Structure 1
Amino acid sequence: MMADAEPILLSETRGHIRLLTINRPERMNSLSPELSDELIKAFVDAGADPDVRAIVLTAVGDRAFCAGADLKARAQEDTEGKPFQPLLSRVQRYVFEVVYETVKPTIAALNGSAVAGGMELALACDMRVAAEHALMGLPEAKRGKGAHFANVMLPRMIPSGIAFEMLYLGEYINMDDARHWGLVNRVVPRGEALNEAMRMAEMLCENAPVSLRRMKETAVRANGLPVPVALRLNEGISPYSSEDRVEGVRAYVEKRKPVWRGR
């Protein structure tokens, strides 16, 4: 009898943190359709779990966080004559969109390089902590592919000229350059990305979950809106009328640690 296959996405909960770990090191943690589906389910589940206050995404090994789409699998499907389904024309939701719109704070721990769809997956998270040996890049123009999510997001995150250089040339950048342009929050020694990401997640979990959710939802939905419209957004539970706001003020006055209820 054959042993059960290893799961392609590992999930565990540490306190109020949901840790998701991509487990395809033999394929550079590349995105297969099955892995994309698992990521969608995992982020939706974590977003709906009232005990989860932050999500950390990482991968097995130290070579690659994610190498993007599984091109070997796609080449086989092309050989077999299977049509390519555009990401926004499938039954499943768009995985980068799901990660980006998750209402909980998200941190990508880049244990290794994040390229193509792997870089897009990292960009979909709120913050990124990277190992110093990692590389980032979007080689889609060299493969005849599209980088649709990066086309939209990258010019919003860094100067447009640098974004177009990365998109047009398809060259990789090191973590010094990534930090300089604000693509990663912190650069740490090899093997320390997850530890630092978890430390950051633990720190943010000390803060009011109602406030964190309001910050995340407003920031995501306000992106690209005119300021007068964005200022009138009222996304999710209002922290101003929440129990957490009352508790936070009381705890400050009483010089004690607040006990958050998330409501």
Structure 2
Amino acid sequence: MGEPVRHESGLVVEDRGHLRLLTLDRPERRNALSSELQADLVEALLDAAEGGQVRAIVLTGNGPAFCAGFDLKEIREQDQRGERFRPPMNRPTRSLFEVVTETPVPIVAALNGPAVAGGFELALACDLRVASPDVQLGLPEAKIGMGANFGSVVLPKRIPMGIAMELLLTGEYVTAEDAARWGLVNRLVARDEVVPTAVALAEQIAANAPISVRRMKETAVKGLELPLWQALRLDVGPNPYLSEDRKEGIAARLEKRAPVWRGR
């Protein structure tokens, strides 16, 4: 288990074996996503995708909130300086939400508190979500003149269109209990059990064959909108059927022992 590394942006990175725990640590700003924090998150995710050592990720926040979205104070200061504001997809850097979605390592969001605006979009980009029933979720961008670009595209893919449109157009919040009924939250637990439950879920994922897990995530994400015949032929990432781990997994099952995965 490695020692946690805290970046000046407020991101804390801790590796626990094959699990990487990413913690947004700006509680005084409700873990708002500053430009610096976004950049460090992207770097930590890209790094996790390389080398094959990290097999699952848990993303959470420190303090009373998971994430309050983009840092509005930083944006206002830029406006006051007369700096040009670029829409999310017109920036020279990669979109954080795209990187989360495209990271081949499964990501579990541990919603320790409210996840609103860009914070909700960040949670939407993750693969699984754990929260306590009373945690608030929502996209209030329509109330402040922003666009919820990622949420506007992804939310209608995750929940019924009518509900998604109501959340987008009214900007009102819902609870994680509501979201769980729509299949958006995987586990509802007491608030002090959110992170441990997410870690246990991630560890369960990390214990499986890493090539198989990566293949399944990439196929599910990239094949979601494709016709069946195209999705079945995606052939993304290393092929588990041709791997040493496939032979090891079958042998271990027949020999009634734990498999030793090598990621190849």
Same fold (TM over 0.5): yes
Q: CA deviation at 1:245?
A: 0.7
Segment drifting more, 110-119 vs 217-226: 217-226
| Match of residue 16 from structure 1 | 18
Match of 1:56 among 32, 55, 58: 58
Aligned-partner residue type, residue 58 of structure 1:
T
Q: CA deviation at 1:182?
A: 1.2
Once residues 46 and 155 of structure 1 are traced to their aligned partners in structure 2, the CA distance between those partners, rounded to angstroms, is 29
Query: Which residues of 2 match residues 1-263 of structure 1 at below 5 A?
Result: 7-61=9-63, 63-263=64-264
Once residues 74 and 168 of structure 1 are traced to their aligned partners in structure 2, the CA distance between those partners, rounded to angstroms, is 23
Once residues 50 and 177 of structure 1 are traced to their aligned partners in structure 2, the CA distance between those partners, rounded to angstroms, is 36
Q: CA deviation at 1:133?
A: 3.0
SS at match of 1:112: coil
Label 1:33 to 1:6 Cα distance change in 2 as closer, same or farther (>3 A). Answer: closer
Structure 1 runs of 4+ aligned residues shifted over 2 Å read: 4-7
SS at match of 1:123: helix
SS at match of 1:39: helix
Aligned-partner residue type, residue 143 of structure 2:
K
The 8 Å contact of residues 134 and 177 in structure 2, kept in 1 or not, is answered as: no
Once residues 149 and 27 of structure 1 are traced to their aligned partners in structure 2, the CA distance between those partners, rounded to angstroms, is 22
SS at match of 1:66: coil
The 8 Å contact of residues 11 and 37 in structure 2, kept in 1 or not, is answered as: yes
Write the deviation string for residues 96-145 of structure 1: whole angstroms up to 9, x where unpaired: 00000000111000010000000000011000001233100000011111
SS at match of 2:192: coil
Once residues 75 and 91 of structure 2 are traced to their aligned partners in structure 1, the CA distance between those partners, rounded to angstroms, is 16
Q: CA deviation at 1:223?
A: 2.1
Query: For this pair of structures, how many residues does the alignment match?
Result: 259
SS at match of 2:191: coil
TM-score by length of structure 1 reads 0.96
Once residues 77 and 208 of structure 2 are traced to their aligned partners in structure 1, the CA distance between those partners, rounded to angstroms, is 48
| Match of residue 3 from structure 2 | none
Once residues 36 and 156 of structure 1 are traced to their aligned partners in structure 2, the CA distance between those partners, rounded to angstroms, is 24
Aligned-partner residue type, residue 59 of structure 2:
L
Q: CA deviation at 1:49?
A: 3.2
Once residues 235 and 222 of structure 1 are traced to their aligned partners in structure 2, the CA distance between those partners, rounded to angstroms, is 10
Q: CA deviation at 1:77?
A: 1.5
Once residues 259 and 173 of structure 1 are traced to their aligned partners in structure 2, the CA distance between those partners, rounded to angstroms, is 43
Write the deviation string for residues 230-262 of structure 1: whole angstroms up to 9, x where unpaired: 111100111111111100100011010000111
Once residues 5 and 137 of structure 1 are traced to their aligned partners in structure 2, the CA distance between those partners, rounded to angstroms, is 28
Aligned-partner residue type, residue 165 of structure 2:
F
Aligned-partner residue type, residue 107 of structure 2:
T
Q: CA deviation at 1:22?
A: 0.5
TM-score by length of structure 2 reads 0.95
CA RMSD of aligned residues (A): 1.3
SS at match of 1:52: coil
Once residues 68 and 74 of structure 2 are traced to their aligned partners in structure 1, the CA distance between those partners, rounded to angstroms, is 13
